[in-house]
Amino acid sequence: MTAVKSICCIGAGYVGGPTCAVIAYKCHDIKVTIVDVNPARIAAWNSDKLPIYEPGLEDVVLARRGKNLFFSTNVDGAIQEADLIFVSVNTPTKKSGMGAGRAADLAYVESATRRIAQVATSSKIVVEKSTVPCRTAQSMRTILEANSTDKIHFDILSNPEFLAEGTAIDDLLKPDRVLIGALQTPEGIRAQQALADVYGHWVAKESILTTNLWSSELSKLAANAMLAQRISSVNALSAICEATGADVDEVAYACGRDSRLGSKFLKASVGFGGSCFQKDILNLVYLSEQLNLPEVAAYWHQVVIMNEYQKKRFVRNIIKTLFNTITNKKIAVLGFAFKKDTGDTRESAAITLIKDFIQESARVAIYDPKVDRQQIVMDLSEPGVVDTQQQVEKHVQICSSAYEAAKDADAVVLVTEWDEFRDDQLDYAKIYDGMHKPAFLFDGRLLVNAPKLRKMGFKVNVIGKTELAGKA
Ligand SMILES: NC(=O)c1ccc[n+]([C@@H]2O[C@H](COP(=O)([O-])OP(=O)(O)OC[C@H]3O[C@@H](n4cnc5c(N)ncnc54)[C@H](O)[C@@H]3O)[C@@H](O)[C@H]2O)c1
Ligand SMILES: O=c1ccn([C@@H]2O[C@H](COP(=O)(O)OP(=O)(O)O[C@H]3O[C@H](CO)[C@@H](O)[C@H](O)[C@H]3O)[C@@H](O)[C@H]2O)c(=O)[nH]1
């Protein structure tokens, strides 16, 4: 196999965009073309305002765009030109049909694979970058092989992506590991090496792991399930802390100091969000059910159940504290993205909480530094809750600062851990002055110094802590 000279990435989303932009940034000898069927998304990638917010992304894109990095809607042309193609399309949870609510919808992966089979005029390495159920590569292979000829051969690799949003560029530049799975045939191993050489431009050899295809596919689901499991574990403990006077930060710290456990992913919260954790765990649950392993399925499913419980528990606590009713009360929600440093709102805990507040007839004022009005309105529109965008606009006020949201509010709820909401950055005395009294503050991110805010007059309620515990 000669060195890869031209890469096409199908799917210009949160993964395809940053991942392939970094490849172009680190491999000036490779032409990288990122394509998408969504012309608005491609136009944004080619504009001054990139379609996603990610620290450091703009510098990487601006450094290489128009040189060896291109964004295009010409999917067929880019496929034909490439020696290696990343398939980085969305794989959402199925909404209907067999496996609805659990299984991954592989329609986009299949359609991209069929397109490759249809238009390729030379041999290609096809790389499964999307997160998919174990053995999806087999289906892709079947489609591609049905279109192979003496002259055109396809190799399939699995190369799951482990970047986290908000730190994507750092994660891509300094990955803990790169995982490449291949069929253990001479051609498969050659293709695996060709992709390893691409990453080898900036990733140390020891950090590039090579496995068989199925291990690679399963490792991606397993890693996400285990990460989310830690959050559900600490969130389950947060309920015990609130009932006993233990402090969840102290418990997490004490546990995390055990080097066998480690300190990361033990931050109690209002519940994990994001496009991946829930989807990928449900995917694993479905896979286990299909393999007739009901105990295994139930085990992983509990991670998602616990996450839903945590969100509901938080809402119940707010209502109870506000004297058992929030009807007509003004609730200021600070943060709408699923975590800080991203404008992504997919599966954000904020959406669940706010829908519950609306159902309780509260007035909700929302502020997030990176999420725009249109996105918030779209996320909150749901048949049966608030049917239309106009109705959403009646229930919620979208604000341009935390101060505006908190003005005349009965409660402030911290949902996303943006740095600007920390008590050394936001003027909480000013917030307090503008609020109805008693002024309640619910910290779903263990972000603020509660004793300090209590001294200002706030009634503070923090996940996993009680006032009686002293340090809460
Ligand atoms: N978002 C993350 O942080 C993250 C991290 C690791 C892995 N993943 C996985 O990566 C995959 C992509 O996720 P994402 O967040 O980038 O999704 P996304 O929705 O942001 O982007 C996917 C893009 O693919 C395009 N697309 C779909 N079908 C196409 C086709 N046939 N031809 C051309 N373009 C097509 C869509 O228009 C969309 O722009 C998913 O499987 C996801 O689970 C996501
Ligand atoms: O201790 C923690 C850590 C995270 N979270 C929350 O968990 C969610 C997910 O956070 P994070 O994992 O940092 O972001 P993602 O972008 O969803 O990244 C995850 O999902 C990606 C998609 O598969 C993987 O590539 C990443 O490795 C994996 O971390 C967010 O709501 C966080 O606020 C907590 O509540 N407590």
ipTM: 0.98
Q: Residue 224 C-alpha to ligand 2 middle, in angstroms?
A: 8
Domain 247-462: assigned CATH number = 3.40.50.720
pLDDT of 325-364, one tens digit each? Answer: 999 999 999 999 999 999 999 999 999 999 999 999 999 9
Ligand 1 pocket check for 152: Cβ under 6 Å = no
Q: Is the CB of 163 under 6 A from ligand 2?
A: yes
Contact 41, 117 (CB under 8 A): no
Query: Is pTM beyond 0.80 here?
Result: yes
What digits encode the pLDDT tens for the residues 400-424? 999 999 999 999 999 999 999 999 9
**Is 220 known as a binding-site position?**
yes
Measured in degrees and rounded to the nearest 5, phi and psi for residue 126 equal -105, 125
Among protein residues, the one with the nearest Cα to ligand 2's atom 29 is 164
Per CATH, domain 6-203 is 3.40.50.720:
yes
Q: Flag whether pLDDT at 194 surpasses 80.
A: yes
What are the boundaries of each domain within the chain?
6-203, 247-462
Residue from 231, 275, 278 to probe ligand 2 pocket by mutation (most atoms less than 8 Å from CB): 231
Order the strands of the 411-414 sheet from edge to edge.
396-398, 363-367, 330-334, 411-414, 440-443, 459-462
DSSP string, 349-381: HHHHHHHHHHHTT-EEEEE-SS--HHHHHHHH-
Domain 6-203 shares a fold with domain 247-462: yes
